[in-house]
Amino acid sequence: MRKITALFAASLLSAGMVSAPAMAQQSGDNAAQQQTQQAAPSAEDFTDEQLQQFADASQEIAAISQDYTQRLQQAEDQSKQQEIRKEANDKMVAVVEDSGLTVETFNAIGQTVQQDPELMKKVQGMAGQS
């Protein structure tokens, strides 16, 4: 159980890395869209299939995050660190998109899981089964 909790902590932290491109990809935002995005989703907003996709992608993202964190710590200068961050971010975005989720949906599920202990237990169970 401790391993699964650590996995989700790592994956949710790395989810923050994929949120920047998602924000950059949005253009022409108006106040109504921003208010809609700020409304906190609930567990009922996601299907079991989406939650399973999130659980599977989170496991892959945790492994990527761990690998790239080590590489980042060994980087010699800021330009190399930036290159490593971009490469890690690109891989994480690809994992999310390959899972069938959008980056926005993945991040929304991640935020909801952090705020809903019951949903976290459910997703942890899904991760343990895959």
pLDDT digits (tens, 9 = 90+) for 18-50: 444 443 344 444 444 444 445 566 767 899 999
pLDDT of 43 reads 67
Dihedral of the alpha carbons of 9, 101, 120, 4, in degrees to the nearest 10: -50
Q: How far apart are CA 64 and CA 29, in angstroms?
A: 31
In this predicted model, what pLDDT tens digit does every residue of 71-88 receive, in sequence order? 999 988 999 999 999 999
Q: How far apart are CA 48 and CA 125, in angstroms?
A: 12
* The token pair that represents 59 in the structure block: 């496991």
Ranges 6-15, 58-67, 83-92: which has the least confidence: 6-15
DSSP 3-state of 41: coil
